[in-house]
A and B are shown apart, each in its own frame.
Chain A
Amino acid sequence: MTSKTKQVYVTGNTWGRALKRDWQLYLLLLLPIACVVIFQYMSYPGLRMAFMNYKPAKGYAGSAWVGFQNFEKIFRDADFIRSLKNTIFFNLADLIMSFPMPIILALMLNEITFKRFKKVAQTVLYLPHFLSWVIVAALALTMFKPQTGLVNILLMNTGVISNGIPFLSEKTHWAWTYLILNVWQTMGWNSIIYLAAITGISQELYEAATVDGAGRFGRMWHVTLPGIRPTIVTLLIMTLGRMMGSNFERLVAFDNVLVRDYSYQLSLYIYEKGLGSLNFSRATAVGLFQSLIGLGLVLLADFVAKRLGEDGLL
């Protein structure tokens, strides 16, 4: 009887029992939950600004309700459409270029057997993550200016080119520079999660694959990649959730007037037409739009992942 009661107690899944059993863990969870509630949910009442002609000095009570007028204005605004297109395009490009790189890097790092070299390589690869975009952009400016950038000076002095390459001042060149620098800055750090997932793969699987005649690439393809597939799917879903977002710091740091056709993305639109002009209603409306699309994409990706047999995120 005692044993039976104990068994019920252990496997019980009611809140009270779970709390009683793991109260230390729930206590630990309290702080992050409080942060999420305070910084994420408590700002929700502010969303009403999207439906008002909000004037900061007049507050909510003194500002007029305007229904969907802000959204109508936004969707009729050619600048919004331009920034939306750019945001989607560059996020897709970032996804294509930056998402696979940490996986490839993790696979390669995992194959390095010389431990000291591996450590040095990892440190060098992680380092760019600790540089802010402002620093990265300043470095890029010094390196890639068309007339006085180090790279162009080198190429011109060695006779490879006669005129400087406009890495930062012609929109197509700028786009490549912008995307490649993102790969450089993020791939090392993002590979950590995959490396951690790889360490969880049983060595027995590698041994079995070796016995079955799998070479190095065979083991990567048939053991490592399937082993980290759930991690890849989870990170992919999370990345898709950010498809409508754009990194304001990165854009501002790299922005210049000659590349606005590409650099003008939603975060700049919100800053210029919203915050810069004291038009908080418009900024909130665009932010709400971004969030809703992002949520939709996450749900869709999660649904597709589950249909393909993965665990999904939710």
Chain B
Amino acid sequence: MKKLVSLLLCIVLCLTAMSFAAAEDGEAQKAAIYDVAPFAENVTITVPVYDRSKQGYPAVDDNYWTKWVQQNFGDKYNITVKYIAIPRGDVMTKYSMLISGDDTPTILMEYDYPKVAQWANDGAMAEISLDEFKAVAPTYYQAMVEHNQLAYTDINGKTYFVLSERPYYDTTYTYVTFCRMDWLRQVGYDHVPANYAEFCEAIQKIVDAGLTKQPLGRRLFDSAYAQNFAYRDIPVDETEWAIYSSLGTASLSWEPTRRMLKRANDEYLKGWYSTEFELDADGSQEKTDFINGVTFSYGNYMSADVDWLKAFYEKNPNAELAIVSNYQGDEEGVFEAQIRADNPFGMIVGFSSLATPDQLKAAWMYMEWLMQPENLFVMENGIQGVTYELDADGLPVMLDYSGEEMLNHNNNIDMTCIIHASKKRGTIEQTIAAITPKGVPQDFTQAIIDNFYALKGLSEAGKAYTDPIFAVAIEAESENNGTLLSLWKEYSTKLIKAEEGQFDALYTEFCEKYLAAGYQDILDERLEAFNAGNTTKLPENIKNAVK
């Protein structure tokens, strides 16, 4: 018996010792992974930052805040952080050049899934372990868990991405379209048009009253985004959604796109657009026309400092603006208010396949460091008393400052986008108050809040959804999207400018050419991926949405 007890004791002791040893090993490993001590040898990481070529802002890759990151993060951990300017309008070309020159940035990031999928598929991105990432960047990882983003980290069965947050992604509240309420009042309206019939009537009255000859702004479609959500059937067919709905390639041959172009053509034939809108590739003319009081409406993203709105009021001091209704385009059988919700994530972040383990770790440390509220706050608000002041609620209010410490475009968003796609500030009301344009005669805070809740209503009614995300790379898309984009620009312009009665024949001809130029291959490949279960699915509330 004694022997048996001794034996059992021995076994228990041995097991206990072994478990302690194992635990110690684990702790040691954990400690090693959590080790955020400075690197023994300097590690250089390269971080992309969008260059929007905006006047009045410092260079995006070398300014007070890039230096601040280096001083407060880089120097502390013996890491050199280099920023690489990526032209916002030509992202893929710049990345192509960097990748081909073996200068792939340590971090590669983009908002569009097809682009990062292409990089991953071409071998430019490193396969990563989320466990390792979690060990180095636990806060970042936890945020991904909380935002249900882990499902989007893989492609072709391998893990490549981590994802930043996109607050309120199911609404498009930061984009606001304004219209000339003073013109509407002059032609007998006390409200903004609530449907398309009323809109057309009001526009015609405005033209007839001689307030303008060219009431609507339009520019060249310079991206593959066909804004056809409101022209889609309700509920949208899931297979059609899976193969057509995309930011990567415009869906010229899809019925909603035809409806959208047809309406634009009708409006063009009424003389409501500039006859040279196709020469306005960057939208500057469209913006100028609104500022100069030529056009009825204009929309763009909101922030505390909206230069074009200020310029508008300077040119039109007696003007009154209102926010356009989301239902302005409603027309039975053609258009019903629906919006393109964003992805449930902001930046899709991957890492260079050329990065060393130390560079990978340094990049993850950079993200984790920036994620910390105290660092993020400074990056987004700057210095108290210089770039911002605190309001009564203790929330920062940005000051109009243009000295050395000034923040870059939209509160350094192109540096902080790796954490989240837009600045958060307490409640949605407080957030909207922060991004409502300041320094203009009208206060739009409540109107934008109302608009947010209207959009939220659409979302809850199943009328806000995004595009499918593919877990496999669509090879035909990488192969043909450059050609198809240029064809889309050409065909959409020609269709909008088509002469009376020519639209349908032209549309048929262009669709055939477009499909033959590679779009059919993309549709086939997408369908195959959808049938194989390699895409996200349409949420049930969208499938059950009612008109």
List of A residues within 8 angstroms of B275 by Cβ? 146-147, 164
Minimum CB–CB distance from B293 to chain A (whole Å) comes to 15
The answer to whether B486 touches A258 (Cβ under 8 A) is no
A55-B123, A276-B482, A278-B99 known; A169+B279 contact, CB < 8 A: yes
- Measured between C-beta atoms, what is the minimum distance from B89 to chain A in Å? 13
Say whether A260 faces chain B, with CB atoms less than 8 Å apart: yes
The interface stretch among A56-64, A97-105, A234-242 is: A56-64
B486–A58 contact, CB under 8 A? no
Beyond A257-B278, A277-B482, A280-B100, whether A56 also contacts B220 by CB under 8 A is no
A279 interface residue (CB < 8 Å to B): yes
Contacts of B274 in A (CB 8 A): 147
Contact of B220 among A145, A148, A257, A260 (CB under 8 A): A257
Known contacts being A62-B123, A146-B276, is A277 close to B478, with CB within 8 Å? yes
| B265 within 8 A of partner (CB) | no
Interface residues of B in 478-506 (CB under 8 A from A): 478-483, 486, 489-490, 493-494, 497
Instruction: Please indicate the chain B residues that have their CB under 8 angstroms from the CB of A260 in the complex.
Output: 486, 490
A132-160, CB under 8 A of B: which get 1 and which 0? 00000000010001111000000000000
User: Which residue of chain A has its CB nearest to the CB of B281?
Assistant: A256
* Number of B residues, CB within 8 Å of A: 37
Contacts of A78 in B (CB 8 A): 516-517
Centre residue among A55, A57, A147, A169 by max chain B CB count within 10 A: A57
- Is residue A168 contacting chain B, with contact meaning CB distance below 8 A? yes
Of A58, A78, A164, A258, chain B has the most CB atoms within 10 Å of the CB of A258
Query: Which residues of A (260-303) have their CB < 8 Å from a CB of B?
Result: 260, 264, 272-273, 275-280
A79 to B220, CA, bound (A): 22
Q: Name the one of B122, B278, B354 contacting A55, with C-beta atoms under 8 angstroms.
A: B122
- Interface contact B279-A79, CB-CB below 8 Å: no
User: Hey, which chain A residues are within 8 Å of B516, CB to CB?
Assistant: 78
A273 proximity list for chain B (CB < 8 A)? 482-483
Chain B nearest CB: distance from A284 CB in Å? 11
| Residues of A contacting B353 in the complex (Cβ-Cβ under 8 angstroms) | 57
| Residue B124 CB within 8 A of the other chain | yes
Residues of A within 8 A of B494 (CB): 257-258
In contact, A258 and B99 (Cβ under 8 angstroms)? no
Could you tell me the distance in whole angstroms from the C-beta of A117 to the nearest C-beta in chain B? 39
Residue-by-residue, is A44-85 near B (CB-CB < 8 Å gives 1, otherwise 0)?
A: 000000000001111000100000000000000011000000
Contacts of A272 in B (CB 8 A): 482-483, 486
B-side contacts of A278, CB under 8 Å = 92, 96, 99-100, 118, 122, 478
Q: Which listed residue (A56, A57, A145, A280) contacts B279, Cβ 8 A? A: A145
Residue with the greatest number of chain B CB neighbours at <10 A, chosen from A257, A275, A276: A257
The CA-CA distance from A279 to B118 in the complex, in Å, is: 11
> A-facing mask of B81-104, CB < 8 A → 1, else 0?
000000000001100110110101
Beta-carbon nearest neighbor of A280 in chain B: B100
- Enumerate chain B residues within 8 angstroms of A279, measured Cβ to Cβ: 479
Tell me the B92-146 residues at the A interface (CB within 8 Å): 92-93, 96-97, 99-100, 102, 104, 118-119, 122-125
B490 pairs with A277, CB closer than 8 A:
no
* A275 and B124 contacting across the interface, CB-CB below 8 Å: no
Q: Which single residue of chain A is at the shortest CB-CB distance from B279?
A: A256
B96 in contact with A56 (CB, 8 Å)? yes
| B122 touches which of A57, A146, A168, A275 (Cβ 8 Å) | A57
Shortest Cβ distance from residue A221 to the other chain B in the assembled complex, whole angstroms: 45
Q: A264 vs B276: C-alpha distance in the bound complex, in angstroms?
A: 20
Chain A residues within 8 Å of B97, by CB: 275
Q: In the complex the two chains form, what is the Cα distance from A258 to B276 in whole Å?
A: 10
Residues of B within 8 A of A277 (CB): 478-483
Known A147-B275, A147-B276; judge A57-B481 contact (CB<8 A).
no
Enumerate chain B residues within 8 angstroms of A164, measured Cβ to Cβ.
275
- Chain B neighbourhood of A148, CB < 8 A: 276
Q: Tell me which residues across on chain B come within 8 A of A146, comparing CB atoms.
A: 275-276
Cβ-defined partner of B517 (8 Å) among A62, A79, A258: A79
Q: Say whether A276 contacts B99, CB under 8 Å.
A: no
Taking CB atoms, residues of chain A closer than 8 Å to B354 are 57
> Are A58 and B123 in touch, CB under 8 angstroms?
yes
* Assembly CA distance A257 to B275 (angstroms): 14
Residue of B nearest to A141 (CB): B279
Chain B residue at minimal CB-CB distance from A269:
B483
Minimum CB–CB distance for A256 against chain B, Å = 6
CA distance A264 to B483 in the complex (A): 11
Chain A neighbourhood of B517, CB < 8 A: 78-79
Chain A, residue nearest B285 (CB): A148
* A257–B510 CA distance with the chains assembled, in angstroms: 14
Residue of B nearest to A277 (CB): B482
Q: Complex formed: what's the CA distance from A145 to B480 in Å?
A: 32
Give which listed residue, A56, A141, A147, A256, contacts B99 with CB less than 8 A.
A56
Supposing A57-B104, A147-B275 touch, asked if A257 and B96 sit within 8 A by C-beta, the answer is no
Nearest chain B CB to A10 CB, angstrom units: 51
Q: Are A275 and B93 neighbours in the complex by a CB distance under 8 Å? A: yes
C-alpha gap A78/B512 in the complex (Å): 14
Cα A278 to Cα B100 in complex, Å, equals 8
Chain A residue with the shortest CB-CB distance to B497: A258
Q: How far is the CA of A277 from the CA of B95 in the complex (A)?
A: 11
Complex Cα–Cα for A272 and B104 (A): 21
User: A214 CA to B220 CA in the complex, in Å?
Assistant: 60
CA distance in complex: A145, B122 (Å): 42
A264 proximity list for chain B (CB < 8 A) = 486
Given contacts A55-B122, A257-B278, 7 further A-B contacts (CB under 8 A): A56-B100, A57-B353, A79-B483, A145-B276, A257-B493, A272-B483, A277-B480
Query: Can you list 21 contacts pairing A with B, beta carbon distance less than 8 Å?
Result: A55-B123, A56-B99, A57-B125, A58-B122, A58-B123, A79-B517, A146-B276, A147-B274, A164-B275, A169-B276, A256-B279, A256-B281, A258-B494, A260-B486, A264-B486, A272-B482, A272-B483, A273-B482, A278-B92, A278-B96, A278-B478
